[in-house]
Amino acid sequence: MTVARTSAYRRIATEEAFFTREVMQAYRALLAEPAFDDPGFRRLWGTFLSDRPRTVKLVERLIDLGEQRIADMDASGIDMQVLALTSPGVQAFDAPLARDLAQASNDQLAAAVRKYPDRFAGLAAIAVQDPAAAVKELERGVRTLGLKGAIINSHTRGEYLDDAKFWPILEAAEALGAPIYLHPNTPPRAMIEPFTGRGLDGAVFGFAVETALHMLRIIVSGALDRFPKLQFVLGHLGEGLPYWFFRLDFMHGRMVADKRFAGAQPLARKLSEYFTANITLTTSGMAWQPAIMFAHSVVGAERLMYAMDYPYQYVPEEVLVTDALPLSAADKKRFYQSNAEKVFSL
Ligand code: MN
């Protein structure tokens, strides 16, 4: 089935993945290293880099930044993809390799954007494990390469951005006006074991649990009071968090008032209010009207954007679900086009 593009709005898909051959080879090398101690990575990439026909096709689509991808976008009515190096990007590697591969993949991404400027935009991969280098690469990515923000695939080897050692990255993103897409990663070793026995560690659920926790850690740490203009993008309709707003506000307010935990100090806003000040949600992987409309009702028309999650969830007819959302014409255009143009400075 093919979905036509429309003149009513440009469909900008905002969480779309790619891969470089160099990163793929480095993933294969990690999988071959007996001492590499990340069970989530092994379970995810051990499968995706296997010889199963479905995953071979998936990896081909990830690597293509040309005709195959454009043809798939045309078949699903997508005008533009905002591209990001697929999870966990360079965050699984030792810092020197992570720095090198971040630069190389950002260069390749920028070249693809230059070749197809009306079809592609990109987010910079950064070596979070070396914050000073990550800041430099983010600055190079935005100022020199024309990339539109950073992709951070949740935890970096079990560490979270609420740790102040990472705050130079947040400070730089705020100063550049560059959003951080907080994308899922598999749960780290300290978290994953209860998920694995039933296969629940990946996109089926573990991604959302881990990424939602990460976003909450950032908010509760006060990082968004310290960097009030910083913008995050959170996929999968906010990784479930909008459904929790009432209880998060109630219980966070109470635990802060009771001074129960040194790591949970008073914030400038109610916890849920950061979702209308600093966070924009995307619909990646969640082509389901009731959940989208709920998210729309609690974060508002300005804070919700379309994403497909190509090529992982490449189902062209899912676009018809979002086309049929009961939104006004103005809000539909915000959802597909204007919010992405604003958030990513397209
Ligand atoms: Mn994704």
Burial 8-41 (b: 16+ CB within 10 A, else e): ebbbbbbbbbbbbeebbebbeebeeeeeeebbbb
Specify whether 309 is catalytic.
yes
In this predicted structure, the answer to whether residue 293 has a pLDDT above a threshold of 90 is yes
* The predicted structure's pLDDT at residue 141: 98
Q: Are 112 and 211 in contact (CB under 8 A)?
A: no
How far does the centroid of ligand 1 lie from the alpha carbon of residue 124, in Å?
15
Give the pLDDT confidence score for residue 102 in this predicted structure.
Answer: 98
Distance 62 CA to ligand 1 centre (A): 11
What are the domain boundaries of the chain?
12-343
12-343: CATH superfamily: Metal-dependent hydrolases (3.20.20.140)
Confidence at 345, pLDDT banded by 50, 70, 90: very high
Summary mean pLDDT of the chain:
97
Q: How many whole angstroms separate alpha carbon 302 and alpha carbon 338?
A: 9
pLDDT above 70 covers what percent of the chain? 100
pLDDT band at 325 (very low <50, low <70, confident <90, very high): very high
pLDDT for residue 300: 98
Q: Ligand 1: distance of its center to the CA of 150 in Å?
A: 14
Q: Please state, in angstroms and rounded to a whole number, the distance separating the CA atoms of residues 154 and 211.
A: 6
How many angstroms is it from 15 CA to the middle of ligand 1? 6
- Hey, CA dihedral for 231, 135, 310, 336, is it positive or negative? positive
Residues 58-109 have pLDDT tens digits of 999 999 999 999 999 999 999 999 999 999 999 999 999 999 999 999 999 9
Question: What per-residue confidence (pLDDT) applies to 87?
Answer: 98
128-162 tens-digit pLDDT: 999 999 999 999 999 999 999 999 999 999 999 99
pLDDT attached to residue 292: 98
**Å from CA of 76 to ligand 1 middle:** 17
Give 25-65 pLDDT, tens digit per residue.
Answer: 999 999 999 999 999 999 999 999 999 999 999 999 999 99
User: Is residue 274 helix, strand or coil?
Assistant: helix
The catalytic residue among 74, 309, 323, 331 is: 309
Model's pTM, two decimal places? 0.98
Angle of helix 189-196 versus helix 39-48 axis, rounded to 10: 60
Q: How far does residue 17's CA lie from ligand 1's centre (Å)?
A: 6
| Ligand 1 centroid to residue 265 C-alpha, Å | 32
Asked if 332 and 3 count as a contact pair (C-beta separation under 8 A), the reply is no
268-283 residue pLDDT tens = 999 999 999 999 999 9
* Statement: residue 1 has pLDDT above 90: no
Q: By the 8 A CB rule, do 210 and 178 touch?
A: no
